[in-house]
Amino acid sequence: MIETATNKQSLLHRDVLRLSQALDRLIVKAQREQTAQMTPGKWNDQAQRELQPR
């Protein structure tokens, strides 16, 4: 019974890691697409706004 629970926990942990990695890839892809659509001047303006303390 404990072994079964441990195996299930390992499988869930593996699934969570896979989902996290997939999400990371989607975020990076979206960021690349967003950056590619911006003109250099616009990117600099937006980057400066995001880096300013709030």
Name the residue with higher pLDDT: 51 or 23. 23
Mean pLDDT check: name the lowest of 4-8, 17-21, 26-30, 41-45: 41-45
Q: What is the pLDDT of residue 41?
A: 61
Q: Kindly tell me if the per-residue pLDDT of 9 is higher than 90.
A: no
What residues have CB less than 8 Å from 38, skipping those under 6 apart?
Answer: 46
The structure tokens listed for 47 are 């980057």
Burial of 43 (0-12, 13-18, 19+ CB in 10 A): middle
pLDDT higher than threshold 70 for residue 16: yes
How many Å apart are CA 43 and CA 46, to the nearest integer? 5
Q: How many domains does the chain have?
A: 1
Q: Which domain holds residue 25?
A: 2-51
What are the pLDDT digits (tens) for 31-51? 998 888 876 666 666 666 777
